[in-house]
Structures are given as structure tokens and as C-alpha cells.
Amino acid sequence: MLRDLGVRPSADGGGAIRVWSASATAIELCIFAPRDPNWVVDALQLTRDEHDVWSATSPQLVPGAHYSLRASGPTGPRHNFTPSRHLLDPYARGLSRTPSGEWHCYVQDDAFDWAGSVKPNTPLDHTVIYEAHAKGLSKLNPAIPEELRGTYAGLAHESNIAYLKDLGVTAIELLPVHQFVSEQRLIKQGLRNYWGYNTLNFFTPHGAYASRAAQFGGTGAVLREFKGMVKLLHEAGLEVILDVVFNHTAEEGPGGPTTSFRGLDNSNYYRQMDDGDYIDVTGCGNTVNFATPAAQRLVLDSLRYWANEVRVDGFRFDLAPALGRDANVMFDPHHPLLAKIVADPQLAGVKMIAEPWDVGMGGWQVGRFPNGWAEWNDGYRDRMRDFWLTDIAAERLHGQATQGIGSMARRLAGSAHVFSAERGPLASVNFVTAHDGFTIADLTGYNQKHNLGNGENNRDGTDNNHSYNHGVEGPTDDQVVLDARCVTMRNLLGTLLLSGGVPMITAGDEFGRGQHGNNNAYCHDSELTWLPWTQDDWQTDLLEVSRKLLRLRRENPALRPVRFGVFGETTPSASQMDWYNADGTVMSSENWDSPAARTLQYLAASTPEFEEFNRILLVVHGRATPTVVTLPSHVGVTSYTLLWDSADDSAEGTELAPGDPLSVVGPSMQLFRAN
């Protein structure tokens, strides 16, 4: 059976190794001398069982022992066996690099004292995700000892944790932390893969993100630092979500480096044509073949390891449709792997988030993942950008926006047109930016990407940014332009944090971090991508707005529906929604669709299940010119208390009555509590 793969301790000392390969004719275990990584002190032939699992036992397979595999097998276009090549165990829990640059496995020491620490188990409707880089988040933090900056220990330093808690997020989503390497092309250019989407092994934390003390601290030190980070974040009530890259590996295309899967069973681990050409739906050179039970089991075992032994709280799956493609390379929402991930009792309660697109045929699958999955909602991202950026640009240039407010409102309310009633609004992970693309500041400051520093003559990165520079490309001293950009950032953040669904903030957006217009900064490990810890006055103001919006989201359950409401019914943990135009009357079809009528009033009342009753009114004015809004009359509402105005920080607390006029500048948002 495909169980207990990798190295496991034996009852009588030493350990047993189990490796899967259906194509190999022989597999050899090599154990290296403790002080000489090039000297093989023992070599054992593995024996094969009826499930194509190869195994051996050795008294030398103890924590700290370095080992590799060598495999023999048939020749032919779909195979890549070289009996002399040292390969990595796909299930290795520890990796090290020799002075010559070769990778070896080592038997991990998993011991760690969790001291009673438990997972926060934050409900999804209370979850706010903060997408960050494990190194970049703390690299420039002056409150952290220099030797810990940019490390797992630095990420969990008390100053970092205090910042995240004060901001009000509940989960940190880390860009890939599985051991990865840079692509051969980048190395030749003198660049490196900073984001980490080039996985070498699915069970080992990336060693370079550990402190120097851990890197040279002996067997288990890097893993203990990682677990210590998780423990400290949990003790602060913060969850840890890992961005995982199972869709492809660092072995790249057929001419790439052979380090593990290709040398053990190229024919079964990767999708190929009969002539050996790879079927690549990832754009990264190869695609793991999840039509095979062995590849499916690899993913499940990796998830179980990180969720149960390292105790992380969730996973975001890069290019997730690649995991759901069948033997014919067609996406199947009922694919066994997608179903097993959310049904596995060993993964109960773990958050599963799909990036629901890849670059293969039928690659865009937003809304089609099974119940139990959440998904990045790129339609939300693009529509909200258009509403506050490109539509406003069109109005200023041509006198009228290109679209009405209806499409924006559907997404504001939880994207019921995308996700089934069974899955509800929490299936939507809402975002206006992510690691990939413009930051929120660059969305408001650039019309075009500026990626020359990536070494590809500005060809890389999307040209479809849905951005607006407000009249000047890049930096400017024009205060009118700067003020307009700030209001737009507030409107984007306000929309994100006041929408139904699960919000995700990109690290630094809360105070307007920029990347000089680079919308694909994957190859820059520098101050361009590290989080700055000193801010200008306008950034401090924006940070305070972000904190306030997150507090208002926590305090108002009407903003956090768990289910979609049904007209004429009372649905627990849904929000009853009523929509009014600028005159305070019910929205007409013209109000929804007309580019000239881009003002609405969204009255949402919670249907309590676990929290007190709550009702809010959100006014959205999506034009550049001011207008007057008549606050709506509604049964049970006697007054409105202003909680936040994106255009005026001093306006909080104003009390108004139904039918009162409200002057709003444009474009802007106002949030009221309906009393």
C-alpha cells in the first residue's frame, strides 16, 4: 500500500525507507559519511512489493543521517533513469546542500515541545488573511535583532506579532516555504526566485529562511524554528496558512535539472506525450500527473504532515486546477484528489483555498471547486479595480464611466452569481491585490507596468492591470494627484474589508507600499519587495484607516454573512439585503445598469445565529463629482450613525434620520450603523 513512505524509525533502532516507483527496475539507498558528503559509506538495494513500493531497513537511518537514492530502469522517451545519479527521496523531511551544490536528504529529528499550544480555529466568517513573504515581512523591522530579521524566528518576533494583532488580521498566509530553488534561467541572469514558486521538496521547510543559528544548529534545528514560529503565532491567536505549489516541481522541462521525481519515475509523476514531451498546464516546464494515485497520495501526505505535525491551519493551492485534471488533462470538479483533500478526517477543520486557474485548456475554473473549498475571486479583484480606477478614469476623460454599479454590487454582497448557495459567500476569497501584480499604491500610480529590472525587456507580467495613475505616471509632487490616489486606496480597502466573503490583504497595502510600478517582482530579493517599517504621514493615516475598517468588520456581523439569503425566508447567519438609489428609493434596472447612476445605498441586516442582531448602511458613490443622497426609510430603522467616511476621517459619529440629505464627495464610501 502507498502508506508510510519516506523514512520511519524502526522498533529495533535505525529506520525503514519506503519509496514508490512503478517504472524502476532497481532502487538503491546510499548513506553518506557524517563528515564527507561525497563518500557513500553504505549502499542497500531496496526490494519491491506488489504496490510498486520499494523498501529497506538500515541501522544507520537515524536522525542526522544523510542519504540519497539511485534508480535504474528502462530507456525510452518517457523515462530518465541514470543509475549513477543521486536523487532526493520525495518524502524527505530534511534536505541539505553539499559544498558542490548537490542536494542530499537527511533523517529529520521531529522532536518539539508544543507546551499545550493549540490552533486558534478562527471561524471562516471572522477570518481576515494577510498575505506576506516569510523573509520580506521582517527583513527591515528595526525592532527585531539583526540576526533574526528575515527569518522564521523574526516573523514570530513580538514586534511583528504586535503589529499584526494591532492591525486586526487573523491569519498570515505565507508565500511558499517548502524548500525551493531558483530556476536555471534566473541563475544565468544573476537573479533569484524570491517568491518561491519552484518547489524542490514538499516536506521540508525552506532552509534559507531560518536564522543562521538554526541553519548551523544541527539536525532538527530549522524545523524547530519553524514550529516555534507557528507556536508563537498560535499563542497570539493568529493562524498560519501556507501557499503550496504541488502543480509542478523545480525539475522544470525535460532539459531541466533531475533531482527527484524525474529520476525515480518520470513516466508516472509528470504529464507527458508518448514522445516524452511534457504536457505543461502550469507555464513552468512540467505538470505533476494527479491522475496517478501516487501523486494524489503525495499531496495528501504532505498536507497531513504540515497540518498535524507542524500544525499549520490552512493551505492556498497555487494553480489548483492542475490538481483536478484527469487522465485526459481535463479539469474535473469531482476529481478524487479535490474531493479527498476536503473529506480527509486527518485534515478536518483545515482551511483549503484554491487559486482556481492554470494556463491549460479550460484553465479558468472560478466557482467550480467542490463544497469545502474557498477560492481566490479574480472577478471580484477586476471589477473593484474597474469601479474605483478605470471607470473613474473614463469619466474624467470622456464625461461618463463605462459601467454601472450592478456588477460591483453583486460582488460586494458575496458573489452569489459565482458561488453556489450550498457554498455561500465564504467560498469567495476577496482581494484587490496579491503578491502577483501591482500593489495597491501602484494601482493608483501607474497605468503601465515597469518591469525592466526583471531582465525580460518588460515582456513579463500582465498588461491587464485595471489601474489608473490619476494623471501622472509614477512619483509626483502634485498634491491634487496625491490626494486623489489616497482616496482611491481608501475606497479599495473599504470595499475589500466591508464586502461579504473572506478578505485578503497583501502585506503593505494597509499603508500603501509601492514597488515602483513593477507588477511581477518575483525575482527581486531586495528593498523593492521587503516590507518597509518607516512610513510617511499619509501612509500612517492609511494604516489607521485599515485598522479602523478591520475593527468595524469585527463589530458588525451584517458585513460577514455565512450564507446567502433567500428572498422571503429567514436564513440563519445570512444578511437580509435591501438596495436603494441616491434618492432613497428601491433601485430600478436603470439604477443598476446606467453608467450615469453609480450611487447606491446597501442596507444589510444580520439574521443572528451566534452574534447579536446588527444592521448597517453602506453608501457607495462611484462618480468623480459630488452628489446628495437621501437616506432611506426602512421598517425598524430610526436613525443612522456614521462610522466611517473614506473622504473624511473627522466625520465619525454624525447622527442622521431616515429621509435626511447627505452630501457626499466623489468618489467615496460611507458606512453607517442603522439604529
Report the 10 Å Cβ neighbour count for 516.
15
C-alpha–C-alpha distance, residues 58 and 66, integer Å: 13
305, 125, 293: which is closest to 223 by C-alpha?
305
Is 318 labeled as catalytic in the residue annotation?
Answer: yes
**Grid cell 517599517 in the structure block, residue:** 533
Is 483 labeled as catalytic in the residue annotation?
Answer: no
**CA distances for 84 relative to 78, 81, 262, 267, angstroms:** 19, 9, 14, 19
C-alpha–C-alpha distance, residues 48 and 484, integer Å: 68
123 phi/psi in degrees, rounded to 5:
-60, 150
- Measured at the CA of 375, the angle between CA 183 and CA 343, to 5 degrees, comes to 100
589, 650, 576, 587: which is closest to 620 by C-alpha?
587
DSSP code, position 388: I
Label the pairing between strands 103-106 and 95-97.
Answer: antiparallel
Cβ-proximal residues to 307 (8 Å cutoff; 6+ apart), any chain: 313, 315, 346, 347, 350
- Measured at the CA of 597, the angle between CA 592 and CA 598, to 5 degrees, comes to 80
31 phi/psi in degrees, rounded to 5:
-115, 130
**SS3 assignment for 156-168:** CCHHHHHHHHHHC
445 phi/psi in degrees, rounded to 5:
-120, -5
114 phi/psi in degrees, rounded to 5:
-80, -10
Cell matching residue 468: 489608473
Label the pairing between strands 351-354 and 374-376.
Answer: parallel
Q: What are the start-end ranges of the H helices in 121-216? A: 152-155, 158-167, 184-189, 212-215
Query: Which of these is catalytic: 28, 265, 355, 395?
Result: 355
C-alpha–C-alpha distance, residues 674 and 656, integer Å: 10
C-alpha–C-alpha distance, residues 138 and 209, integer Å: 11
C-alpha–C-alpha distance, residues 473 and 562, integer Å: 41
Cell matching residue 568: 422571503
357, 279, 366: which is closest to 318 by C-alpha?
357
- Measured at the CA of 487, the angle between CA 394 and CA 444, to 5 degrees, comes to 55
Judge whether 570 and 191 are in contact, CB under 8 Å: no
Instruction: State the amino acid at position 645 in one-letter form.
Output: D
C-alpha–C-alpha distance, residues 412 and 433, integer Å: 16
Cβ-proximal residues to 502 (8 Å cutoff; 6+ apart), any chain: 124, 125, 127, 128, 129, 374, 426, 428, 429, 430
Label the pairing between strands 575-580 and 36-45.
Answer: unpaired
Judge whether 410 and 404 are in contact, CB under 8 Å: no
Query: Which of these is catalytic: 251, 318, 509, 510?
Result: 318
Cell matching residue 72: 535504474
**What strand order describes the sheet that includes 668-674?**
575-580, 599-606, 615-621, 668-674, 640-645, 655-656
Cell matching residue 671: 458606512
Indicate which residues carry an active-site annotation.
Answer: 318, 355
